[in-house]
Structure 1
Amino acid sequence: MEITKDMIIGDLVRNHSGAVNVLMAHGMGCVGCPSSQAESIEDACRVHGMNIDSLLEALNKAV
């Protein structure tokens, strides 16, 4: 299954435990935050000023 920008972070973390380390390594420490239950990867990257392409690449390699 490919990880895409519209996936909800909470769903990603629940279904792919390896994603947590990737998210944390990229500076997204909010994986347990209540917002992550409804926030897409794209939205979180926008809020945190992160490069979505490099994050998606790393996530897809990890899972």
Structure 2
Amino acid sequence: MDIDPESVVDDVMRRWPATIAVFLANRMHCIGCPVGRMHTIAEACAEHALDRATVLAQLAAAAGRAHEAPR
């Protein structure tokens, strides 16, 4: 699963917990929101008036860091 505009917010946060920081940094109150189980990244960005490409890049970066091997 890749993170794309049609990815469901809750699925992204569950698969890549490090992405939670991105939602918080962008003042997206998606954590624990019942709508997050249905909202896509595209819908959440539109709802919060955020640039989708920027948020997707931030989420991808956070997910990549989440997969790095511990040092």
Give the alignment of 1:23-38 within 5 angstroms. 23-38=23-38
The corresponding residue for 2:56 is 56
Find the aligned partners of 2:51 and 2:27 in 1 and give their Cα distance: 11
% identical aligned pairs: 29
Counterpart amino acid of residue 26 in structure 1: N
Greater RCO (Cα-Cα under 8 Å, separation 6 or more) = 1
The corresponding residue for 2:7 is 7
Counterpart amino acid of residue 13 in structure 2: V
1:5-56 residue CA offsets vs partner (Å, 9 max, x unmatched): 1000010111110010011101112221000001100001111111111101
TM-score, reference length from structure 2: 0.81
Q: Which runs of 4+ in 1 moved over 4 A?
A: none
RMSD between aligned residues? 1.1
Instruction: Report the structure number with the largest CA radius of gyration.
Output: 2
Number of aligned residues? 63
The corresponding residue for 2:69 is none
Unaligned runs of 5+ residues in structure 1 are: none
